[in-house]
């Protein structure tokens, strides 16, 4: 079992470009969660998705950020028109059900230059 796979591990984008972060959950997990960790800060919940549905996006910034978890393929966190403040580590986690524990990926470290 490969665990939660996130790619890329490191992503560099210029201001104004788009960033796409991918997350493949563990086999058998249909619940995906995205977290953001700014430098020297804790993890902040962003969004919770099940297949084809957004369940809770209360932690997502209102503009430029979107997430999807299609029927086939990985979950995608998309950041449009990136700014320097978007530089952070983005972690994805998956679970088997809503009450199960999470398994986290190793994260994608986004740097906006």
Partner 1 sequence: DAKTTQPNSMESNEEEPVHLPCNHSTISGTDYIHWYRQLPSQGPEYVIHGLTSNVNNRMASLAIAEDRKSSTLILHRATLRDAAVYYCILRDVGTGNQFYFGTGTSLTVIP
**Contacts to partner 1 by CB under 8 A:** 4, 33, 35, 42-45, 48, 56, 91, 93, 97-99, 101-107
Q: Hey, how many other C-beta atoms are within 10 angstroms of the C-beta on 11?
A: 17
The rounded distance, in Å, linking the Cα atoms of 35 and 9 is 15
Query: Is 72 or 101 the residue whose CB approaches partner 1 more closely?
Result: 101
The least CB distance from residue 85 to partner 1, in Å, is 20
**Phi-psi map region of 3: left, alpha, beta (phi>0 left; psi -120 to 50 alpha):** left
Cβ 17 to partner 1, closest distance in Å? 24
* 3-state helix vs strand vs coil in the chain, percent to 5: 5, 50, 50
Cβ closer to partner 1: 67 or 93?
93
**Which residue, 14 or 42, is less far from partner 1 as judged by CB?**
42
Report the nearest approach of partner 1 to the CB of residue 107 (Å): 5
């Amino acid at each position: 079992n490969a665990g939660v796979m996130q790619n890329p591990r490191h992503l560099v984008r210029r201001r104004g470009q788009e960033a796409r972060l991918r997350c493949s959950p563990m086999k058998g997990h249909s619940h995906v969660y995205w977290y953001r960790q700014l430098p020297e800060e804790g993890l902040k919940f962003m969004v919770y998705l099940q297949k084809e549905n957004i369940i809770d996006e209360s932690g997502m910034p209102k503009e430029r950020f979107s997430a999807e978890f299609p029927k086939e393929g990985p979950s995608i966190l998309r950041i449009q028109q990136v700014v320097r403040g978007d530089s952070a580590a983005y972690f994805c986690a998956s679970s088997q059900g809503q009450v199960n524990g999470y398994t986290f990926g190793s994260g994608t470290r986004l740097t906006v230059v």
